[in-house]
């Protein structure tokens, strides 16, 4: 998120290391007013600039600084002509712009969090300008330093649950282990996936995003899960096998534990029917699946 300027600025050898600055949480909504229907993009934008900002930090000299307010204005201004489709393409335009606009900017990172809307259906037809928010978020990150641009994308806040075909057995038992083994439990998680493209130039970003989301859902269903770890690996592998555009995918899968409630105390049998959904603590399983290049 920054760079070392390396300059020593005090006698005691104290110096300014990596820095960055920018504008976060720019809430941009773009309407494209087509002849037949309107298209809607609803996105939060975070822009971070890295470079040589030592004069501002150590001497209070702002001469070469773009104001973060200017960064905000620019996001809206460029959205007019350049946010005409996928957010990833708009991100590349923003990176390019800020590398030029900031005299000492050396690297730009733009992160998008897109809120998703479906068209409202009226009499079986999608309405031309009315929308209802759906769950989950589409993210994208575009980063560049003038020598090239790196494009990534992601899925946030995708809650899934299967009521069976999942277990947790054969794990290590030692002094502090009390958890019983089970070959039938609820598996539930909030998928956060982030991936990077080999080359962000010629990708059907929307199509791949929808495909990754679909693949993650399908993989959840297609196997007995012996652990979140194994399901994580299977998801990553399936995504890479399906989309050759993707270099690697990172998955973060918090285990949202569902505990069978002890009803035997009341003379009631609980055969995998009544659960307490425990918000915390949660097992957190993370991993990256990559491709040998």
Output the CA–CA distances (angstroms, integers) from residue 56 to 15, 24, 42, 91, 207, in the order listed: 14, 20, 34, 27, 43
Interface map 84-123 toward a copy of itself (x if CB under 8 A): -----------------xxx-------------x--xxx-
223 tagged catalytic: no
Tokens matching residue 49: 């600039």
Segment 123 to 182, residues that bind a copy of itself, using CB under 8 A: 127, 129-135, 158-165, 168-172, 174-179
Cβ atoms 144, 40 nearer than 8 A? no
Tokens matching residue 283: 């097992």
Return the SS3 of 94. helix
Element (H, E) at 189: strand 187-197
Binding flag, residue 264, a copy of itself (CB under 8 A): no
Out of 8, 183, 199, 204, which residue is the one contacting a copy of itself (CB under 8 A)? Answer: 8
Select from 65-73, 86-94, 145-153, 201-209 the region that touches a copy of itself (CB under 8 A): 65-73
38 tagged catalytic: no
Out of 149, 153, 203, 240, which residue is the one contacting a copy of itself (CB under 8 A)? Answer: 240
Bond preceding residue 249 cis, omega within 30 of 0: no
Catalytic residue selected from 89, 92, 248, 257: 257
* Of 142 and 246, CB closest to a copy of itself: 246
68 tagged catalytic: yes
Binding flag, residue 82, a copy of itself (CB under 8 A): no
End-to-end CA distance of the chain: 26
Would you please indicate which residues are annotated as catalytic (active-site) residues?
23, 68, 257
């Amino acid at each position: 998120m920054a760079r070392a300027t390396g300059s020593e600025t005090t006698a005691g050898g104290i110096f300014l290391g990596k820095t960055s600055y920018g504008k976060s949480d720019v809430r941009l909504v773009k309407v494209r007013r087509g002849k037949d229907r309107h298209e809607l993009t609803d996105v939060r934008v975070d822009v971070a600039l890295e470079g040589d900002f030592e004069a501002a930090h150590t001497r209070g000299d702002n001469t070469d600084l773009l104001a973060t307010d200017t960064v905000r204005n620019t996001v809206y201004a460029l959205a007019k002509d350049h946010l005409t489709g996928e957010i990833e393409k708009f991100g590349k335009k923003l990176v390019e712009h800020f590398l030029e606009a900031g005299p000492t900017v050396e690297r730009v990172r733009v992160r998008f969090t897109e809120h998703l809307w479906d068209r409202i259906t009226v009499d079986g037809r999608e309405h031309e300008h009315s929308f209802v928010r759906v769950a989950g978020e589409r993210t994208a990150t575009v980063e560049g330093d003038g020598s090239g641009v790196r494009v990534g994308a992601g899925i946030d806040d995708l809650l899934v649950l299967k009521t069976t075909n999942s277990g947790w057995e054969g794990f290590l038992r030692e002094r502090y282990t009390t958890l019983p083994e089970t070959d039938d439990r609820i598996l539930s998680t909030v998928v956060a996936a982030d991936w990077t493209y080999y080359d962000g130039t010629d990708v059907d970003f929307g199509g791949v995003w929808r495909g990754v989301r679909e693949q993650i859902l399908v993989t959840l269903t297609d196997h007995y899960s012996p652990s979140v770890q194994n399901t994580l690996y299977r998801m990553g592998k399936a995504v890479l096998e399906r989309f050759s555009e993707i270099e690697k995918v990172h998955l973060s899968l918090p285990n949202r534990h569902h505990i069978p409630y002890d009803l035997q105390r009341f003379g009631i049998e609980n055969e995998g029917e009544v659960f307490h959904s425990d918000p915390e603590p949660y097992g957190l399983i993370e991993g990256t699946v990559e491709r040998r290049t």
